[in-house]
A and B are shown apart, each in its own frame.
Chain A
Amino acid sequence: MQKLYDQGSKKMNNLQPKQETINFILNFSKAMHIVKTRNMLIEVHKN
């Protein structure tokens, strides 16, 4: 599977995602927390 994806990506230009997208992902991770209750997992976002 990894070989297949690698082959495909080598054909493309070396494009990069925007830095703000990376920052958004990292900030999302920092803000996101999972609270475990008895029966379920609740996603909580701290501002």
Chain B
Amino acid sequence: MNTTTSDAVLVKNYIYGNERALEILVLRHKSRVYNFIYSKVLDRDLSEDIFQDTFIKVIRTLRKGTYNEEGKFLPWLMRIAHNLIIDHFRKSNRMPKFESRDKEFDIFSMLKDSGRNAEKQLIVDQISADVRKLVEELPEDQKEVVYMRLFKDMSFKEIAENTNVSINTALGRMRYAIINLRRLVVAHNIVLTE
């Protein structure tokens, strides 16, 4: 198996557990998928999120054995990306925006610590910035739940009502957000302690 192996063979190999096959598929199609997404949303960060969600959907479908192989992997991949772009625009039109009154809300500004010296303050600022960056890397639905729960202190009932999903879905998104944040902390070698 190498970079000239057909998509169909790579898909089959991946379904049988070969992770390298997925890597080749991602590297082969990343540019085309990413540029397609960017051409529609014109936002780099959003393109990253939709690109990530596209391949996660691919992984889930292949792993669940619900992919119907007809030698058309790329059109299928692009259709997933296309559908996620449409979902994004539908959601952004429908969903109310939750903007903090003070736009740069900082969770650490709420913690009173008069004994903090300049060095500690720098570390806290760095942790705060790191957490914000990590949250930004989450998929849109998870990011939204994290902001509402942690930064806006909303209950899961309120989050569910405001995002038009069930409480279970909101809880599930929070759970996946935490899993993803932990994974990102490890991947980025970030130390989130004072």
Q: List chain A positions with a Cβ less than 8 A from chain B.
A: 1-2, 5-6, 8-9, 11-18, 20-34, 41, 43, 45, 47
Asked if A26 contacts B182 (CB within 8 A), the reply is no
Closest to A12 in B: B35
Known pairs A27-B183, A28-B56. 8 more at Cβ < 8 A? A2-B72, A5-B78, A11-B39, A12-B38, A25-B55, A28-B59, A34-B64, A45-B179
Asked if A22 contacts B39 (CB within 8 A), the reply is no
Chain B interface extent, by class: 35 or more
- Which residues 27-57 of B have a CB within 8 angstroms of A? 27, 30-32, 34-36, 38-39, 44, 47-48, 51-52, 55-56
Q: List chain B positions with a Cβ less than 8 A from chain A.
A: 19, 22-23, 26-27, 30-32, 34-36, 38-39, 44, 47-48, 51-52, 55-56, 59-60, 63-64, 72, 74-75, 78-79, 137, 179, 182-184, 187-188
Residue numbers in B under 8 Å from A12 (CB-CB)? 35-36, 38-39
- How many Å lie between the Cα of A9 and that of B59 in the bound state? 23
- How many Å lie between the Cα of A27 and that of B22 in the bound state? 11
Contact of A47 among B26, B79, B137, B179 (CB under 8 A): B179
Known: A1-B75, A20-B188. Is A25-B32 also a contact (CB below 8 A)? no
Residue numbers in B under 8 Å from A34 (CB-CB)? 63-64
